[in-house]
Structure 1
Amino acid sequence: MPLVSPFSKEPLIDGRQSERAMMVRRGVQRLMIAHRVSLLPEMPLKSGRRADLVCLSEQGDVIIVEIKTSIEDLRVDRKWSEYLLHCDRFFFATHPGVPPDIFPTDHGLIVSDGYTAEVLREAPEKRLSAATRKAMMLRFARLSADRLLQAEWAANPFMTE
């Protein structure tokens, strides 16, 4: 049995997210699930960036949700504009303590209280090319399968021996 495992004990939480970001994420996840949208947190993109939430609708639409927990969080982070190349629709998500008028009006906006979430502004649709859509779906599927295996192994330590 190896002394060091390459697999995380908590494969769905990597420790880089604040408690408030996790609260916003949970509400957005519940909203998406209620709309039959599948999602993956912390999905690496081809660009090397990592999206907070990548969502896949039943129709195959790719939606990215970027979580911002404060005015300063939005002000200092400019990498989110790169996510627009990887999705059909883009949303910011935040909590009720952040003023909604600070977010760019040409993107969607979701407010989450941790238990549920509400879409304050729909995101305009900008369709992906067929090649980018295929690449995103393959990345989504492979990461989903990898995380499912990691979760199974974390739940049953005898699987890694």
Structure 2
Amino acid sequence: MEPLTIPARTLAVTRAAARFCALRGWAPVEQVPLPDGRRADILALRPDGDFVILEVKSCARDFLTDGKWPDYRAWCDRLYFAVDLDFPQDLLPEDVGLVVAEDREAALIREAAEHRLASARRRALMQRMAMLAAGRLAALADPAGAAEMRAALRLE
């Protein structure tokens, strides 16, 4: 079997990490734009109301060239890296959680340190996530309507 390309590896880890969340009763949403301009790979809402961000890293170079990941702490209660089995785990900081994916499955290797969100930020993030998820669900239910809406917004 040929090794996966970096985009294919990223997709595989993202899918396994989202499945990891769903199996725990968390509600994962991928590619969530955050108010500071960053984009969370996966933002998940836990049943207790806490937010988790899983930052997917496809290879060591992806991690080493990314200086923005610490900014995600401001938008979640717990921050995790999601990597595959080939990722050199010793590169990752110990105060960030670790989820390791293999094929379609993922396992929690290290729990993340907690850093509680302020209630106003939590509320704003909840609204942002709900609007994004509902919009994506509506687009899946009515793709033609979603395309018309995007076209109309571009004309304004």
Q: Which structure exhibits the higher relative contact order, with contacts defined as CA atoms closer than 8 Å and separated by 6 or more residues?
A: 1
Partner of 2:80: 91
The 8 Å contact of residues 87 and 127 in structure 1, kept in 2 or not, is answered as: yes
Asked if residue 124 in structure 1 is aligned to residue 113 in structure 2, the reply is: yes
Q: Which residue of 2 aligns with 1:65?
A: 54
1:41 maps to amino acid:
E
User: Is the 8 Å Cα contact of residues 139 and 146 (structure 2) preserved in structure 1?
Assistant: no
TM-score (normalizing by structure 1)? 0.85
CA distance in 1, matches of 2:145, 2:95: 50
Query: Which of 103, 106, 109 is residue 95 of structure 2 equivalent to?
Result: 106
Using the size of structure 2 for normalisation, the TM-score is: 0.87
Q: Is the counterpart of residue 28 in structure 1 residue 17 in structure 2?
A: yes
Are 2:43 and 1:54 equivalent residues in the alignment? yes
CA offsets, 1:51-92, max 9 Å, x none?
000000011000000000111000000111111100000000
* Identity between Structure 1 and Structure 2 (%): 36
- The residue number in structure 1 matching 2:131 is 142
Contact 2:54 2:81 in 1 (8 A): yes
**1:114 Cα deviation after fit:** 3.2
Runs (5+) with no aligned partner, structure 2: 1-5, 149-156
CA RMSD across the alignment: 1.5
Aligned AA (2:138): L
How much has 1:159 moved relative to structure 2?
A: 7.6
Q: Which runs of 5+ in 1 are unaligned?
A: 1-16
Higher helix fraction (1 or 2): 2
Aligned letter for 1:26?
R
Question: Cα deviation per residue 1:16-36 (whole Å; 9 max; x = unaligned)?
Answer: x81111100111111111100
Q: Distance in 1 between matches of 2:124 and 2:145?
A: 34
Match of 1:75 in 2: 64
The alignment covers a number of residue pairs equal to 143
Inter-CA distance 131–31: structure 2 relative to 1 (3 Å threshold): same
